Structure 1
Amino acid sequence: MNLDRFTHETERPARRYEYDDSSVVAVDFGPGADATVDLVDGTVIVVLEDDQFELELPEATADAHTFIRNGVLTVELEADQ
């Protein structure tokens, strides 16, 4: 996952949390951020005002869930078993 490049492009703080069978990525776009998120073919696409950012997911990801709440993008990844 190209999280370093993604956070550099967006200039937003991000964290990655690793668990036994999954991981979670959280990126803070700030409160009131008018952002939307979509997941297309292993790519997380975030549209923030007039900008679009993409985050490629690892190939070993079996399932991913994305959402934005209170300006925080959350990507939940489940690893292949």
Structure 2
Amino acid sequence: MTLEQFTREEGQVARRYEYDECSVLAVDFGADHAEASVDLVDGTVIVVVEDEQYEIELPDGAGDAHTFIKNGVLTVELEGDL
């Protein structure tokens, strides 16, 4: 999973946070993209923003993954040892 693909190409702000029991990935697509959608399919997070589609492959050690997008901010919560 690379955050650089978001910050380099599109200028979004992307961060990864590490906690004791999980990791959190947050990507801000901007309030203009509040209608973006996210789905999780076979270990791949798929984000659709207007006519663009982004895919994030989750690492092999990721357990349960929870994804949601609100006000243009994508959040991916990963449990397990990464």
C-alpha RMSD over aligned residues:
1.3
The equivalent of 1:51 in structure 2 is 52
The equivalent of 1:22 in structure 2 is 22
- Alpha-carbon distance in 1 for matches of 2:7, 2:58: 14
Other structure's SS at 2:64 match? strand
Per residue, is there more strand in 1 or in 2?
1
TM-score of the superposition, structure 1-length normalised?
A: 0.89
Q: How big is the shift at 1:21?
A: 1.5
- Alpha-carbon distance in 2 for matches of 1:49, 1:7: 18
Runs of 4+ in 1 over 6 A off after TM superposition: none
Structure 1 window deviating more from structure 2 (48-57 vs 6-15): it is 6-15
- Alpha-carbon distance in 2 for matches of 1:59, 1:9: 25
Other structure's SS at 2:54 match? strand
Corresponding pairs, count: 80
Q: How big is the shift at 1:64?
A: 0.2
What is the aligned-residue identity percentage? 68
* Offset from partner CA, 1:11-61 (integer Å, 9 cap, x none): 311011001120101000111312110000111000000010101111100
Structure 1 window deviating more from structure 2 (9-18 vs 48-57): it is 9-18
The equivalent of 2:36 in structure 1 is 35
Q: Could you tell me which runs of 5 or more consecutive residues in structure 1 were left unpaired when the two chains were aligned.
A: none
Q: Could you tell me which runs of 5 or more consecutive residues in structure 2 were left unpaired when the two chains were aligned.
A: none
The equivalent of 2:77 in structure 1 is 76
TM-score of the superposition, structure 2-length normalised?
A: 0.88
